[in-house]
């Protein structure tokens, strides 16, 4: 397990259930990561660059990349995910996604850590 600024990445050690969830979305070259966002952390509006994903997977067209966020627990007060100008609200198992160049942000303005499954892959 690798810890980096509140992010837990299991890579090869990721439990199979998370890989199975990633397969549900029918993407190619899928990468699944479990992410922890601690109280007070904010990821301001941005567009993902996918630099490492593009290099590792030799992606020629960034516009084919899809990112999906799956909530691993019921949303708690202060947990936020915004895609463009819409807030994403839902319980455990809810998922939201976007294609490359979509503006989004996340914040944990609450009291408890937020855990999500982040799935990145290529649209078929």
- Would you state the pLDDT for residue 46? 97
Please give the chain's pLDDT, 124 residues, in tens: 334 444 445 456 777 788 888 888 999 999 899 999 999 999 999 999 999 999 999 999 999 999 999 999 999 999 999 999 999 999 999 999 999 999 999 999 999 999 999 999 999 8
What CATH number does the domain containing 68 carry? 2.60.120.10
Specify the pLDDT at position 122: 95
* Residue 25: per-residue pLDDT: 93
Which pLDDT value is given to residue 18?
Answer: 81
Nearest to 118 by CA among 76, 75, 66: 66
Q: Which of 114, 88, 91 is nearest to 35 (CA)?
A: 114
To the question of pTM greater than 0.75 for the whole model, the response is yes
Count how many domains the chain has: 1
78 DSSP β-pair partners: none
Single out the residue of 97, 84, 83, 92 nearest to residue 114, CA to CA: 92
pLDDT given at position 11: 55
Domain that holds residue 13: 2-122
């Amino acid at each position: 397990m690798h810890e980096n600024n509140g992010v837990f990445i299991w890579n090869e050690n990721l439990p199979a259930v998370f890989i199975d969830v990633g397969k549900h979305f029918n993407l190619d070259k899928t990468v699944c990561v479990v992410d922890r966002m601690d109280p007070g952390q904010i990821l301001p509006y941005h567009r993902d660059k996918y630099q490492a994903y593009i290099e590792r997977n030799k992606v020629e067209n960034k516009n084919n990349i899809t990112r999906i966020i799956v909530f691993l627990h019921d949303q708690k007060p202060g947990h936020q995910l915004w895609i463009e100008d819409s807030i994403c609200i839902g319980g455990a198992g809810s998922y939201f996604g976007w294609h490359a160049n979509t503006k989004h942000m996340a914040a944990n303005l609450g009291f408890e850590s937020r855990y999500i499954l982040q799935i990145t892959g290529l649209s078929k």
